[in-house]
Amino acid sequence: MTKTKYDQLWNDLIHRAIGDYLTSHNEYEWASNANSYKNELKDAIYNTYEKEYKPQFKDTYMIKKNKGDSENEDSVPIGSGEVKIDRHKVSALLYLSIVKNDKAPFIKLKKKRDNGDIFAISACHEIAYSISLNCIKSFIEFSLKDNPNCPHKNKFISNGAFDRMPSLICEEYENYRESIIPRMVWATEAIDSSRANTAKTVSTNVNMLANIFYFLELHASNCT
């Protein structure tokens, strides 16, 4: 992801999503009031995505790039063709970069309470979840400009995109979002930079998240 593309992503999705969450959840605030904090967070997310998690994922699950391939291209050649890190994996990498950079958790409860960190971590996951789904939706909307007749993508948009979520069976949660966030927290918080198997752990979580996002998109496009 080029820095220019990321700047647009930060302005259009990431920063806006954090602001919207803080507006609708006034018990939270930014983790720091320092003037430089938002720019530090912006850089931390990008560096985690571009310099840590994406290379780890590629080295673990994808054939290394040929000499001369651009470092900013989210794609690698496999065999005679080229396999790209698709929108679901890009969004999964983005999710992890938002919740696991060195500035996270980037929001906090205004009033201190026992176990306050877990509430802040969960809130960051909620934000990352929304950003990732909106990122996928943006990819699809952009793709439709070049291929307006794609039935899957048109159905996804006309069905309200990710407004259509799977129904829960035998669950204590009220909706799918409330059900999946605790599981994502549990899975992704296992990532620890001090562990020798960090790259494999990151890549496993990328595939897990990407599969979740793929099936959510598939569910939305198949709803009638």
Which tops the pLDDT comparison, 196 or 61?
61
Helix (H) or strand (E) holding 169: none
Which tops the pLDDT comparison, 159 or 76?
159
What tokens appear for 46 in the block?
Answer: 């990008």
CA distance 49 to 66: 21
- Specify which residues 77 forms β-bridges with: 82
Query: Is the Cα dihedral 70, 73, 79, 81 positive or negative?
Result: negative
Whole-model pTM? 0.85
Helix/strand/coil (H, E, C) string of 186-211? Answer: HHHCCCCCCCCCHHHHHHHHHHHHHH
pLDDT at residue number 190 = 64
Distances (CA, A) of 200 to 53, 58, 121, 189: 10, 10, 22, 14
Confidence of residue 193 (pLDDT cuts 50, 70, 90): very low
Q: pLDDT tens-digit profile of 1-24?
A: 889 999 999 999 999 999 999 999
Confidence of residue 116 (pLDDT cuts 50, 70, 90): low
Percent above pLDDT 90 for the chain:
47
Percent above pLDDT 70 for the chain:
81
